Amino acid sequence: MRVIGVAFVVVFLVTGPAVAETLSDCNALRINQRKAARAVLDREGAACRGDRQCVKEAQATWNNAAKEIDEEASACRARARQAIQTEPPPYLNWKPGDPSPQAKDGRRYLMSCSGKVLGLYKPGGALEMELKTHPGNCIPRDDWGPGGFAPGTSDKQSCYEIGTGSRKEYSGGRPSWCDPNR
């Protein structure tokens, strides 16, 4: 029975890493492989029925299998990290007028017209609508602050109207309907 269990673990090791591509895949694969190897050890330990030599051999089998699983998981994580490092960022070749580059989590990169990344935004929101009003699908400034779009060269400024969430322009001092926190 011990030979079958070890063969099962080895076959699982050989076929598993070919599928794993990300760090989370590598970690999940390691966990699943260790569970399978542990189940084999438990069956072998139960079959030993108190024979110390048999238990010692089963424990040695577990230690070898765990070591192989951990080594393969380390190699898998190294390959996944290498793939992450060699993958160019989606905004690398972006030019004004191109659609906003998309991040892996679905958000889009907010770009200045010079090609600098200013932040991330969710598609379909107010920021995307604001971007559509700018030529080139970009912000004409390289400094993006917490206050949103900084005022340009004109004397008009804008902020979000309290209660509506829509952006309005004003001149002079900040009006009472202006939300300074947005």
Model pTM? 0.42
Structure tokens that stand for 23 in this block: 């760090």
- Is the confidence at residue 165, as pLDDT, over 80? no
Sorted by where each begins, the domain ranges of the chain are 2-86, 92-143, 151-182
Report the DSSP beta bridge partners of residue 181.
none
Q: Are 144 and 119 in contact (CB under 8 A)?
A: yes
Segment 121-164, tens digit of pLDDT: 888 888 888 888 888 888 887 776 554 544 444 445 666 566 66
For 131, which DSSP code? Answer: H
pLDDT level of residue 180 (50, 70, 90 thresholds): low
Distance CA 65, CA 54 (A): 16
- Is the confidence at residue 66, as pLDDT, over 90? yes
Structure tokens that stand for 175 in this block: 């009006």
What pLDDT score was predicted for residue 28? 92
3-class SS at 8? helix
**What integer best gives the mean pLDDT of the chain?**
76
Q: Which helix (H) or strand (E) holds 171?
A: strand 167-171
* pLDDT above 90: percentage of residues in the chain: 18
What pLDDT score was predicted for residue 154? 42
What pLDDT score was predicted for residue 119? 85
Residues 21-34, mean pLDDT to the nearest whole number: 90
